Amino acid sequence: MTPQWITFSPRGDERGVLVAIESDHDIPFTLKRVYTLTGLLPGGVRGGHAHKRLRQVIVCLAGSCVIDLDDGEQTFSVPLDDPASGLVLEPMIWHEMREFSAGCVLMVLASDHYDEADYIRDRAAFMKCAKTASA
């Protein structure tokens, strides 16, 4: 797994920057849900789970943070700080977001509605599933 980025096409002029994200066109799935993370604390950690089937794209709309990615074999820590780029988060990637700057705003585009049954929140269970999948 290598972190995969989507670069959107910012339309900037003297009035500011507009970024349009269209379902199926600018992201590799049909968009069914958008959620945001705001009021994030500098020492806090979000995430700490993987999804079984859900596909997501994470965009940092303001400020910055770090996201740790782990597919059970490889780990990556990458900065999120560009409102014109989205990080693709495929299923079976354990992820944690941390080191939130003041005013950090994250927007997540998701391929399906919220379903708690799609989460793997237990780290040992995730490692077991990841090993089984790669065997």
Residues designated as active site: 49
Total site size for ligand TYD, rule CB under 6 A: 6
Q: Is 91 in the site for ligand TYD (CB under 6 A)?
A: no
Give one DSSP letter per residue of 104-117, joined into a string.
-EEEEEESS---GG
| Residue of the chain from 21, 29, 46, 82 that contacts ligand TYD (CB under 6 A) | 46
Binding mask 1-40 for ligand TYD (x = CB under 6 A): --------------------------------x-x-x---
CB of 105 to ligand TYD, least distance (A): 13
Please tell me the distance from the alpha carbon of residue 7 to that of residue 51, in angstroms, as a whole number: 23
Sign of CA dihedral 125, 96, 76, 7: positive
Residue-level length of the chain: 135
